[in-house]
Amino acid sequence: MEIREVLRLVAIFRDLNAEEMDRVAGIAATRLARKKSVLFMEGDDKETVYFIQDGLVKTYKTDANGNEQIVSILQTGDMFPHTGFFNQTPYPATAETLVDTQLVAIPIRAFERLILEVPTIAMKVIDALGAKIRELQQKLQQFAGRDVHERILSLLLQLADKHGLRKGTRICIELPVTHQELAHSIGTTRETVNRLLSQLKKQGILETNRSEMVIRDLEALKQWKDLIQRGAARK
């Protein structure tokens, strides 16, 4: 996929015309980051904004004892850091690839020079960022109101859709994160994640190991999520 095609999928660039898109694509570069590559560290000067063409990236903070706390698990189409181009603060978290990941990278300084030359790009990007912030606020409200089991199942279904590799009737998801990290990423406890995954295993819907989850019955997983949604709606 060409850089222009990747950028066109990103919400903040969708309103750019062909000439403006060509200018942005001209300062962007593709980059293949191997699994376990650290793209930047928390507190480093912010130099580049990344867009995931294909892959998985975790962002995390490290406490005084050296323990990691995952902030988010980013997937295809996501932009990071979310502070983006118009904020001079350092990187707010460390970013590390979970699998081999194809990225599009845009240097912030080059983008700043570009918007001085073509201010219409800045106006359109700012408008799109405003809409994106409102969308994220709505998603956060919905997220906060959802049952924790529904959040876990939704994440599994999203990962299966975007990163699952179908092998016969099974869907294999390369996900080298611990249950603790998975729990942090969706705002719950490891015990809650363990209990739900154990239930799914007992039902023959899911298998897990250190680096992979295998969905044995996708339709059953969807039905579990639907049942939880209907139960929440009746409360």
Ordered by where they begin, the domains of the chain are 3-137 (2.60.120.10), 146-234 (1.10.10.10)
| Beta bridge pairs of residue 18 | none
Which parts of 7-129 are beta strand (E)?
29-33, 38-40, 48-54, 57-62, 68-74, 79-80, 94-97, 101-107
pLDDT tens digits, 184-222: 777 778 888 888 889 999 999 998 877 788 999 988 888
- Separation between Cα atoms, residue 217 and residue 198, nearest integer Å: 15
- Separation between Cα atoms, residue 89 and residue 57, nearest integer Å: 21
Tally of residues, the chain: 235
Mean pLDDT of the chain: 84
| Beta bridge pairs of residue 215 | 171, 206
Check: CB of residue 176 under 8 Å from CB of residue 211: yes
Kindly tell me if the per-residue pLDDT of 24 is higher than 50.
yes
Alpha helices in the chain (DSSP H): 3-8, 18-27, 108-117, 119-145, 148-163, 179-185, 190-202, 218-234
- For residue 169, the SS3 value is coil
pLDDT tens digits, 72-128: 888 888 888 877 787 788 998 999 998 899 999 999 999 999 999 999 998 888 887
Say what the pLDDT of residue 144 is. 52
- Separation between Cα atoms, residue 12 and residue 4, nearest integer Å: 13
Say what the pLDDT of residue 230 is. 67
pLDDT tens digits, 39-54: 999 999 999 999 999 8
Type and span of the H or E element at 225? helix 218-234
Kindly tell me if the per-residue pLDDT of 17 is higher than 90.
yes
**Residue range 18-31: mean pLDDT, rounded:** 94
Say what the pLDDT of residue 145 is. 47
Say what the pLDDT of residue 23 is. 95
% of the chain residues with pLDDT over 70: 89
- Separation between Cα atoms, residue 204 and residue 224, nearest integer Å: 13
